[in-house]
A = this chain, B = another copy of it.
Amino acid sequence: MTTTADQITAATGDTTLPASAPSRPSRTSPAGGPRIDVTALHQALLGRWPTWRAKARAHAAEPRFWKDDSLPMAEHRERVLGQVKMLAADPEHQVWLAYPKRLGGQDSPGANLAGFEELAIGDPSLQIKAGVQFGLFGSAIWQLGTPEQQDRWLPGAMDVSVPGAFAMTEKGHGSDVASLATTATYDAEAGEFVINTPFRGAWKDFLGNAAKDGLAATVFARLITRGPGETQDTDYGVHCFYVPIRDEAGEFLPGVGGEDDGLKGGLNGIDNGSLWFDHVRVPRENLLARYGQVAADGTYTSPIASPGRRFFTMLGALVQGRVSLDGAAGSATRIGLAIAVRYAEQRRQFAGAAPDEEVTLLDYATHRRRLIPLVAETYALHYAHERLLDMFDDVFSGRNDTEQTRADLETMAAAMKGTSTTFALEALQECRVACGGAGFITENRIVSLRADMDVYATFEGDNTILLQLVAKRLVGDYGKDLGRQVKTAQGKARYVAGRAADVALHRFPLRRAAQAVADVTRPDSGAVFDVALQRALLTERVAAKVEALALGLRPAQKADPAEAQRIFDRHQVALIDVARSHAELVRWDLFTEAVASTKDAGTAVVLGWLRDEYALTVIRRDLGWFVANGRLTGSRARALDGELDALERRLRPHLLDLVDAWGLGDDHLRAVIATGVEQERQDEARAYYAAQRAAGTLPTKEKRGR
C-alpha cells in the first residue's frame, strides 16, 4: 500500500448525514397553488434502504472520496485505489452488505447497491473500481464459486489485499461472451488447468485492475477436458477460473502479460489494461465450480445439463453490474441537472435595456424545454430503478429466486441500463450546453462527470445488445403466450399491459390507481392528453410494435439460415425501437404508481404534472409512429407542443423544489456556478446600476441619428 493511500485511509469514516441535506419547505412555489413538501419527497426518494443510501451519500460528500480533476492519470489511479481500500476498511462494513451472513455479510444485496450507486457522486472512477473489486471480482468468487472457494478467496478480495481483475471481455469479442476464445484445457496428469490465449483477439482487454494493481483475476475461458476413455477433447463452453497474475512486488507471474490501456475518455482513476496467458497452469481447484466441475480424472459434471442454460445462469449471476449502472446513471444525471437548474434559476441573459430586470434563463421557453423534460425523465428513471432494486434484492437475497423472477430481473435490468446510461449522457450534455461556456469549465463539474459516464453506455453489455435482448424476450413471450391464447386486438393490448406489469412486479391494480391519480392531478383538466390517454397510447404502442415484429419475424422460423438472417436484419432496427418503447412504458407505469402512493396532496399534484411531462415527452419523441399508425389524430398531435409548453410553465416554479428533493448539497454538486455566485454577481450588478441611477451618473443612451 502506498503512502498516499495510507494517508487517506488514516482519515476516519464519518457517516453522519451531510449538513447540506435538505430539510426545508418549498422555496419557489407560488402562493395558492399546490406545493411540494420537499422534506417528505426527499425522504420518499431515499427509497427502500434510506439509511444505507443516506450513509453512502454522506460518504460521497466527504472530500477524501471526491474526484480531483487536477491529478494526472498515475496519481488519480493511486488516489482511487486508496479510496477503495478506505471503503473496505470502513467500520460499518458496507462493502459486505450483499454477502450472506455465513461470510460476514447481511444478505442485503439491494441495500448494498442502493449505497454503491451513490459512490458515483464522489468519483465515478471510485464507483467502477469498487465495482470491479467487490461487485465483479468478488461477486464472481461468491456467485460462481463453491463455499470452500468463497472461504479461500473472498477475504482477500473484500479487504483489497488482493486487488483483482474481472477478465471476461476480449479484444475480439466485446459483449459477445459466448464467442470468447481463451482456453482452459484440463491436464489430468498434472491435475491442472492450462490457461491460454491463442491469438491477439483473445487478449482480455479493458479490465480494471489489470494494468497495475491486480494480483489475481477471475478469468473466463472455454473449459476443455477429456474424460477417461474419451478420444477427443470436448469444449464445455465458458467457465470462470481464479488465476493469480502478479507477485507481491507487482510483477507479472511467469506466462502472464498485458498492456496498459492508458488514457481514456474518462474514468482515468482506474488502471484498465489487457491480459494474456501463455499456457499458465492453475490447480484444478481454481475452476469456480458452482455450475460446473471437473473431476481429477477429467470428467466434467454440472448441475445444469443444458450448456445454453448453464451459460446464461453464470452470466445472470452477474446482473448486479447492470442494476448498479442504472442507479449510477441516475446519480450522475441528478448532479448535472441540479447544477443546471440552480444556475438557470439565477442566471439572467438578454435583459436588454433594463439590466436589473428579473428575466432568468428559466423564463425562456427554450430553456424550460431543455431542462424540464430531463428532470421528468430523471424522476421516471428513479422510480423504475427503485423497482429494479426490489427485484434484484428479491432474487439475490434468495427470497424469491425462481427461473421466472431471474429472467424478469435480467430483462428489466437490460431495459433500464440499456436506456438510462444513454439518457445520462444526453442529459449531461444538455446540462453542459444549458450552462454555456461556464458549463465547459471543469470546476463546474458537468464535463468531468459526462466524460466519466461515457463508457457506461457500452460496458456491462453494449446498450444496443441489451435492448435486443429485451426485444427478443418481448417477442418471444408474445409468440409463446399470446399466439395461443389471445385473438382479439383488445385482448392483445391487455396482454401487453399485463406483461409490463409483470415485469415491473406490480402489486396493486395499476389501471385503477392511474385513474385515481388522474382525478387528483387534473382538476383544471380539459387537457388533451390525460392520464388515461397516456396509458392507452404507451401501452398500445408496445402491443402494436411487438405484434408487428412477431408477425414480421415469423417466416424466419422456417427459412434457411441465410434467409433467416436476412429477415432478422430487416427487423433489427425495429427490435431496438420496441425495447425502448417498452422501457418507457415500464417507467411511466412506475412513475404513475409513485404519484398514486404519494400522501401529501400538493406533492402528488406536482409529481402528476411531472409524470404528464414525461408522458408527453415520450409521445413527442415517437409522434410519427402514433399519427402514422392511427393512434393519434393530426389535431391532437398538433396540440402536443402547446400542452408541453403549458406544462412546463406550470412546473417551472416547482423546478427548484423537485431538484432540491434529491438531497444534493454543495458538497455533492461541487460546481462553482451552483453555489450562488451567479446570484451574488447579479445582485452586485443591480446594486451598481441602482447606485448610478440614484447619483444621476448613469450615462444616457445615444439617440439615433445624432
Contact = CB atoms under 8 A, between A and B. Distances in A.
Contact of A200 (B448, B681, B701): B681
B235 A702 contact: yes
B174 A352 contact: no
A305 B705 contact: yes
Nearest to A308: B704
A410 B304 CA distance: 69
Interface in A234-282: 234-237, 261-266
Contacts of A178: 352
Q: Find the residue from A440, A570, A638 having the highest chain B CB count within 10 A.
A: A440
Contacts of A364: 569, 572
A420 interface: no
A442 B171 CA distance: 16
Contacts of A682: 172, 201
Contacts of A181: 355, 685
Given A235-B702, A355-B181, A628-B623, A436 B688 contact: no
A617 to B, nearest CB: 13
Interface stretch (A31-39, A94-102, A454-462): A454-462
Interface residues of A, number: 115
B704 A305 contact: yes
Contact of A262 (B443, B451, B457): B443
A630 interface: yes
A144 to B, nearest CB: 18
> Among A306, A348, A573, which residue has the most Cβ atoms of chain B within 10 A?
A573
B641 A630 contact: no
Contacts of A637: 624, 627-628
A433 interface: yes
B628 A634 contact: yes
A438 B437 CA distance: 29
A353 to B, nearest CB: 9
Contact of A237 (B174, B348, B436, B702): B702
A694 to B, nearest CB: 15
Contacts of A508: none
A468 B367 CA distance: 13
A233 B171 CA distance: 71
A150 interface: no
Contact of A573 (B572, B645, B706): B645
Contacts of A172: 348, 681-682, 685
Contact of A265 (B263, B440, B459): B440
A441 interface: yes
Copies of this chain assembled into the complex: 2
Nearest to A692: B198
A176 interface: yes
A48 interface: no
A573 B69 CA distance: 36
Contacts of A629: 634, 638
Given A263-B69, A573-B365, A202 B685 contact: yes
A629 B627 CA distance: 10
Nearest to A200: B681
A491 to B, nearest CB: 23
A261 B441 contact: yes
Contact of A624 (B198, B266, B623): B623
Nearest to A301: B706
A476 interface: no
Contact of A704 (B307, B355, B627): B307
Given A72-B72, A265-B451, A630 B634 contact: yes
Contacts of A425: 429
A622 to B, nearest CB: 8
A442 B264 contact: yes
A3 interface: no
Contact of A700 (B234, B363, B454, B455): B234
A620 B178 CA distance: 36
A174 B351 CA distance: 12
A459 B436 CA distance: 8
A400 interface: no
Interface string A564-588: 0000011011101000000000000
A502 interface: no
Contacts of A265: 432, 440-442, 446-448, 450-451
The 5 residue pairs across chains A and B that have the minimum distance between CB atoms: A623-B624, A265-B447, A628-B637, A263-B442, A233-B699
Given A173-B349, A233-B699, A265-B442, 14 more contacts: A72-B72, A181-B355, A181-B685, A201-B681, A206-B437, A262-B441, A265-B446, A265-B451, A366-B468, A366-B572, A429-B454, A432-B454, A624-B626, A629-B634
21 contacts: A169-B437, A171-B681, A172-B685, A174-B349, A176-B349, A178-B352, A179-B350, A200-B684, A263-B441, A264-B440, A264-B441, A265-B440, A363-B569, A364-B569, A365-B572, A365-B573, A429-B454, A440-B454, A573-B645, A627-B628, A629-B638
